[in-house]
Copies of this chain bind each other. A is one copy, B any other.
Amino acid sequence: MESSSLTERHRFAEAERDALYKTVFNRRDVRGQFLPTTVPDEVLARVLYAAHHAPSVGFMQPWNFLVIRSQQKKQQVHQLFSKANKEAVELFDKDKQKTYKNLKLEGILESPINLCITCDRTRTGKPVLGRTHMKTMDLYSSVCAVQNLWLAARTEGLGVGWVSIMHEDELKATLGIPEHVVPIAYLCIGYVEHFKDKPELETKGWLPRMEISDLVNFEEWEGSAQSSDDQELLSTLAEMSDFPTGFPVR
């Protein structure tokens, strides 16, 4: 078989590939634009099903999904955020504090659905294939579930925001999460007024988007290009960083 057919055999159609890139570049961490519009259970089921098909170490599937719809529970969680956020702002330099205070960092009360994705570290007993040496692998599996859900949600027109400014032990107590389970992500989910073109922390001057060509090295940490292939990769990446976010890369 020719080399070209080997590379094409399992490739998706161009339109399908572009849909994946479009999703990746248009996914946003949504905090401020949630609408109260009900999310149909069919749609929620699809994004959860996508999460459940994330990779997991040793096929452990360590995740659970806690769906929170009651305003009472949301208010309890929001109080945890408010307390932690007051502590958080004090950690920044005075000049950063002003920007920080102007950022809306969560949509707990406004989003119709809150979702906590967890990692049950004891799910399949000990030992776990693939977690014998790197003990954090099960946590990472649950993170992959979060990212699957986030991308699926974007194609459904649903915004997702990840709230991490809370004391973990307080969140666990509020949701009754037992000792051996780690809350990986507390997500706010709902339809949105609009999706921003770029991450808010970029447009509001918190930090710039880094140049990807500065983040790629070869053979080892800080290793420079070893071959013409490596040089070519860096050149291609340098050109790509000029592509407008929000459009598929061609």
| Residues of chain B within 8 A of A181, CB atoms compared | 221
Instruction: Evaluate contact between B45 and A209: CB separation under 8 angstroms.
Output: no
Report the minimal beta-carbon distance from A57 to chain B, rounded to whole angstroms: 6
Name which residue of chain B comes closest to A236, CB basis.
B45
Instruction: Evaluate contact between A215 and B69: CB separation under 8 angstroms.
Output: no
**Residue from B12, B65, B69, B91 within 8 A of A132 (CB atoms):** B91
| Residues of chain B within 8 A of A109, CB atoms compared | none
Instruction: Evaluate contact between B50 and A21: CB separation under 8 angstroms.
Output: yes
Question: What number of copies of this chain does the assembly contain?
Answer: 2
Instruction: Evaluate contact between A155 and B11: CB separation under 8 angstroms.
Output: yes
Whether A7 touches B166, Cβ cut-off 8 Å, given contacts A12-B23, A19-B15, A206-B58, is no
Q: A residues 177-229 with Cβ under 8 Å of B?
A: 177-178, 181, 184-185, 191-192, 194-195, 199, 201-202, 206-207, 209-210, 212, 215-223, 226-227, 229
**Residue from B15, B58, B151, B222 within 8 A of A207 (CB atoms):** B58
| Residues of chain B within 8 A of A212, CB atoms compared | 48-49, 52
Give the top 8 A-B pairs by smallest Cβ distance, nearest first.
Answer: A11-B157, A16-B19, A59-B201, A19-B19, A10-B157, A143-B143, A17-B155, A88-B132
